[in-house]
A and B are shown apart, each in its own frame.
Chain A
Amino acid sequence: EAQVTQNPRYLITVTGKKLTVTCSQNMNHEYMSWYRQDPGLGLRQIYYSMNVEVTDKGDVPEGYKVSRKEKRNFPLILESPSPNQTSLYFCASADNQETQYFGPGTRLLVL
Protein backbone atom coordinates (compact mmCIF):
# COMPACT_ATOMS: atom_id res chain seq x y z
CA GLU A 1 0.00 0.00 0.00
CA ALA A 2 1.32 3.41 -1.02
CA GLN A 3 1.77 5.51 2.08
CA VAL A 4 3.68 8.06 4.10
CA THR A 5 4.44 7.00 7.66
CA GLN A 6 5.48 9.16 10.59
CA ASN A 7 6.77 8.20 13.99
CA PRO A 8 5.99 8.83 16.71
CA ARG A 9 2.35 9.86 16.33
CA TYR A 10 2.27 11.56 19.71
CA LEU A 11 5.16 12.96 21.71
CA ILE A 12 5.45 14.86 24.96
CA THR A 13 8.87 16.23 25.76
CA VAL A 14 10.58 18.94 27.77
CA THR A 15 12.30 22.11 26.65
CA GLY A 16 15.79 21.51 25.31
CA LYS A 17 15.65 17.74 24.89
CA LYS A 18 16.61 16.86 21.33
CA LEU A 19 14.09 14.86 19.37
CA THR A 20 13.63 13.40 15.91
CA VAL A 21 10.39 12.72 14.07
CA THR A 22 10.84 10.19 11.31
CA CYS A 23 9.09 10.24 7.96
CA SER A 24 9.19 7.50 5.37
CA GLN A 25 7.46 7.01 2.02
CA ASN A 26 7.27 3.93 -0.22
CA MET A 27 6.23 5.64 -3.45
CA ASN A 28 9.71 6.48 -4.74
CA HIS A 29 8.83 10.16 -4.65
CA GLU A 30 11.58 12.70 -5.13
CA TYR A 31 9.86 15.57 -3.33
CA MET A 32 9.31 15.49 0.42
CA SER A 33 8.24 18.22 2.80
CA TRP A 34 7.50 19.00 6.44
CA TYR A 35 4.64 21.23 7.63
CA ARG A 36 3.38 22.38 10.95
CA GLN A 37 -0.28 23.08 11.56
CA ASP A 38 -1.48 25.49 14.21
CA PRO A 39 -5.02 26.75 14.87
CA GLY A 40 -5.83 29.77 12.75
CA LEU A 41 -2.55 29.60 10.85
CA GLY A 42 -3.19 26.71 8.50
CA LEU A 43 -0.29 24.63 7.20
CA ARG A 44 3.13 26.24 7.16
CA GLN A 45 6.05 24.69 5.36
CA ILE A 46 9.16 24.08 7.46
CA TYR A 47 11.59 22.44 5.04
CA TYR A 48 11.35 20.61 1.77
CA SER A 49 13.59 18.41 -0.30
CA MET A 50 13.64 18.05 -4.06
CA ASN A 51 15.83 14.93 -3.97
CA VAL A 52 18.51 13.11 -2.00
CA GLU A 53 20.99 15.53 -0.40
CA VAL A 54 18.94 18.54 -1.58
CA THR A 55 17.02 20.42 1.10
CA ASP A 56 15.65 23.96 1.26
CA LYS A 57 14.00 26.18 3.84
CA GLY A 58 10.29 26.70 3.79
CA ASP A 59 8.49 29.55 5.50
CA VAL A 60 9.20 28.64 9.13
CA PRO A 61 12.55 26.79 9.32
CA GLU A 62 13.87 28.35 12.53
CA GLY A 63 14.55 25.77 15.24
CA TYR A 64 14.37 22.78 12.87
CA LYS A 65 16.80 20.69 10.89
CA VAL A 66 16.27 18.03 8.26
CA SER A 67 18.34 15.58 6.30
CA ARG A 68 17.75 13.56 3.14
CA LYS A 69 20.32 10.80 2.97
CA GLU A 70 17.96 8.32 1.31
CA LYS A 71 15.09 8.91 -1.06
CA ARG A 72 12.48 7.31 1.17
CA ASN A 73 13.34 9.02 4.49
CA PHE A 74 13.13 12.66 5.56
CA PRO A 75 13.53 13.04 9.32
CA LEU A 76 12.71 16.28 11.15
CA ILE A 77 15.11 17.17 13.96
CA LEU A 78 14.46 19.57 16.81
CA GLU A 79 17.85 20.13 18.43
CA SER A 80 16.52 22.14 21.36
CA PRO A 81 12.73 22.14 21.37
CA SER A 82 10.86 25.06 22.88
CA PRO A 83 7.19 25.40 23.89
CA ASN A 84 6.42 27.46 20.76
CA GLN A 85 7.18 24.34 18.72
CA THR A 86 4.19 22.59 20.23
CA SER A 87 2.17 21.78 17.15
CA LEU A 88 0.78 19.16 14.79
CA TYR A 89 3.42 18.14 12.25
CA PHE A 90 2.79 16.61 8.84
CA CYS A 91 5.23 15.04 6.46
CA ALA A 92 4.30 14.86 2.79
CA SER A 93 5.77 13.42 -0.39
CA ALA A 94 5.03 14.11 -4.03
CA ASP A 95 6.07 13.19 -7.51
CA ASN A 96 7.12 16.37 -9.33
CA GLN A 97 5.60 18.51 -6.55
CA GLU A 98 2.10 17.87 -7.79
CA THR A 99 -0.12 15.58 -5.77
CA GLN A 100 1.19 15.66 -2.22
CA TYR A 101 0.47 12.64 -0.04
CA PHE A 102 0.42 13.50 3.64
CA GLY A 103 1.41 11.29 6.54
CA PRO A 104 -0.97 10.81 9.48
CA GLY A 105 0.60 13.59 11.54
CA THR A 106 2.66 13.83 14.73
CA ARG A 107 1.25 15.74 17.65
CA LEU A 108 4.07 17.29 19.68
CA LEU A 109 3.80 18.91 23.09
CA VAL A 110 6.86 20.68 24.47
CA LEU A 111 6.66 21.48 28.18
Chain B
Amino acid sequence: QQPVQSPQAVILREGEDAVINCSSSKALYSVHWYRQKHGEAPVFLMILLKGGEQKGHDKISASFNEKKQQSSLYLTASQLSYSGTYFCGTGEYNTDKLIFGTGTRLQVFP
Protein backbone atom coordinates (compact mmCIF):
# COMPACT_ATOMS: atom_id res chain seq x y z
CA GLN B 1 0.00 0.00 0.00
CA GLN B 2 1.30 3.41 -0.97
CA PRO B 3 2.30 5.84 1.77
CA VAL B 4 0.02 8.84 2.13
CA GLN B 5 1.45 12.27 1.47
CA SER B 6 -0.07 15.48 2.72
CA PRO B 7 -0.86 18.03 1.62
CA GLN B 8 -1.48 17.12 -2.00
CA ALA B 9 -0.54 20.61 -3.13
CA VAL B 10 1.10 23.70 -1.66
CA ILE B 11 1.36 27.23 -3.00
CA LEU B 12 3.98 29.49 -1.49
CA ARG B 13 5.53 32.91 -1.91
CA GLU B 14 9.30 33.06 -2.07
CA GLY B 15 10.74 33.02 1.42
CA GLU B 16 7.86 31.11 3.02
CA ASP B 17 8.23 27.73 4.71
CA ALA B 18 6.47 24.44 3.98
CA VAL B 19 6.17 21.00 5.52
CA ILE B 20 5.30 17.85 3.56
CA ASN B 21 4.30 14.75 5.46
CA CYS B 22 4.55 11.09 4.52
CA SER B 23 2.73 8.40 6.51
CA SER B 24 2.73 4.65 6.13
CA SER B 25 0.52 1.93 7.58
CA LYS B 26 3.55 -0.37 7.79
CA ALA B 27 6.74 -0.43 9.81
CA LEU B 28 9.43 1.39 7.89
CA TYR B 29 13.09 0.66 7.42
CA SER B 30 13.85 3.74 5.38
CA VAL B 31 12.32 6.86 3.89
CA HIS B 32 13.56 8.44 0.68
CA TRP B 33 12.67 11.90 -0.63
CA TYR B 34 12.75 12.93 -4.29
CA ARG B 35 11.81 16.04 -6.22
CA GLN B 36 10.55 15.98 -9.78
CA LYS B 37 10.31 19.06 -11.94
CA HIS B 38 7.80 19.15 -14.74
CA GLY B 39 8.91 17.03 -17.70
CA GLU B 40 11.99 15.73 -15.92
CA ALA B 41 13.03 12.63 -14.00
CA PRO B 42 12.85 12.50 -10.20
CA VAL B 43 16.00 13.64 -8.43
CA PHE B 44 17.19 12.27 -5.10
CA LEU B 45 17.08 14.65 -2.14
CA MET B 46 17.88 12.50 0.88
CA ILE B 47 17.38 9.19 2.62
CA LEU B 48 16.68 8.53 6.29
CA LEU B 49 17.58 5.14 7.64
CA LYS B 50 17.07 5.33 11.36
CA GLY B 51 14.20 6.30 13.54
CA GLY B 52 14.79 9.75 14.95
CA GLU B 53 17.22 10.61 12.18
CA GLN B 54 17.18 14.10 10.80
CA LYS B 55 19.04 15.25 7.74
CA GLY B 56 19.31 18.36 5.69
CA HIS B 57 21.23 20.35 3.16
CA ASP B 58 20.78 23.93 2.19
CA LYS B 59 17.36 24.81 3.51
CA ILE B 60 15.71 21.45 2.95
CA SER B 61 15.67 18.96 5.79
CA ALA B 62 13.73 15.88 6.84
CA SER B 63 12.93 13.84 9.90
CA PHE B 64 11.91 10.22 10.37
CA ASN B 65 9.68 9.10 13.24
CA GLU B 66 9.95 5.34 13.12
CA LYS B 67 7.36 4.73 15.83
CA LYS B 68 4.74 6.81 14.10
CA GLN B 69 5.75 5.36 10.72
CA GLN B 70 6.05 8.77 9.21
CA SER B 71 8.50 11.29 7.84
CA SER B 72 8.34 15.01 7.24
CA LEU B 73 10.19 17.16 4.72
CA TYR B 74 10.85 20.77 5.73
CA LEU B 75 11.48 23.49 3.17
CA THR B 76 12.68 26.70 4.75
CA ALA B 77 12.73 30.12 3.10
CA SER B 78 11.53 28.62 -0.17
CA GLN B 79 13.08 29.61 -3.48
CA LEU B 80 11.58 29.54 -6.95
CA SER B 81 13.78 26.53 -7.71
CA TYR B 82 11.95 24.49 -5.06
CA SER B 83 8.89 24.24 -7.29
CA GLY B 84 8.07 20.70 -8.37
CA THR B 85 6.44 17.53 -7.14
CA TYR B 86 7.89 15.91 -4.05
CA PHE B 87 7.69 12.17 -3.54
CA CYS B 88 8.47 10.10 -0.51
CA GLY B 89 9.49 6.50 -1.02
CA THR B 90 9.27 4.01 1.81
CA GLY B 91 11.29 0.91 2.39
CA GLU B 92 9.84 -1.81 4.59
CA TYR B 93 11.55 -4.54 6.57
CA ASN B 94 12.10 -7.90 4.87
CA THR B 95 11.60 -6.55 1.39
CA ASP B 96 13.72 -4.66 -1.09
CA LYS B 97 10.75 -2.89 -2.64
CA LEU B 98 10.54 0.87 -2.60
CA ILE B 99 6.99 2.21 -2.55
CA PHE B 100 6.36 5.82 -3.48
CA GLY B 101 3.59 8.11 -2.34
CA THR B 102 1.37 9.90 -4.82
CA GLY B 103 3.31 13.13 -4.51
CA THR B 104 2.92 16.69 -3.24
CA ARG B 105 2.92 19.44 -5.80
CA LEU B 106 4.73 22.56 -4.59
CA GLN B 107 4.61 25.88 -6.42
CA VAL B 108 6.65 28.86 -5.34
CA PHE B 109 5.76 32.27 -6.71
CA PRO B 110 7.83 35.47 -6.61
> Which single residue of chain B is at the shortest CB-CB distance from A49?
B96
Interface hits, A56-111 → B, CB 8 Å: 56, 58-59, 90, 97-105
The answer, yes or no, to whether B91 is at the interface (CB within 8 Å) is: yes
Given A99-B47, A100-B34: 6 more A-B contacts, CB < 8 Å:
A42-B101, A42-B103, A43-B100, A45-B97, A101-B44, A103-B41
Give 11 pairs: A residue, B residue, CB < 8 Å, sorted on A.
A31-B96, A42-B100, A42-B103, A45-B99, A48-B98, A56-B96, A97-B98, A100-B32, A100-B98, A101-B44, A102-B41
B27 within 8 A of A: no
In chain B, residues 12-34, which have Cβ atoms closer than 8 Å to a Cβ of chain A?
32, 34
Contact A43 B42 (CB under 8 A): yes
A23 → chain B closest CB, angstroms: 12
Asked whether, in the complex, the Cβ of A42 is within 8 Å of the Cβ of B87, the reply is yes
Please state if B97 and A48 are interface contacts (CB–CB under 8 Å): yes
* Cβ contacts under 8 Å, B41 to chain A: 90, 102-105
Q: How many residues of B contact A (CB 8 A)?
A: 20
Mark contacts of B76-110 with chain A using CB atoms, 8 A cut-off: 1 yes-contact digit, 0 otherwise: 00000000000101010000111111110000000
Q: Chain A: interface residue count, which band? A: 20 to 34
Report how many A-B pairs have Cβ atoms within 8 Å.
51
**Chain B residues positioned under 8 Å from A101 (CB to CB):** 44
- In the complex, which residues of chain A have a beta carbon less than 8 angstroms from the beta carbon of B11? none
Contact present for A50 and B102 (CB under 8 Å): no
A106 to B4, CA, bound (A): 26
Complex CA–CA separation, A13 to B78 (angstroms): 42
The answer to whether B99 and A59 touch across the interface, beta carbons within 8 angstroms, is yes
A50, B96: Cα distance in complex, Å: 8
Nearest-neighbor residue (CB-CB) of A41 within chain B: B102
Q: How far is the CB of A15 from chain B (nearest CB, A)?
A: 27
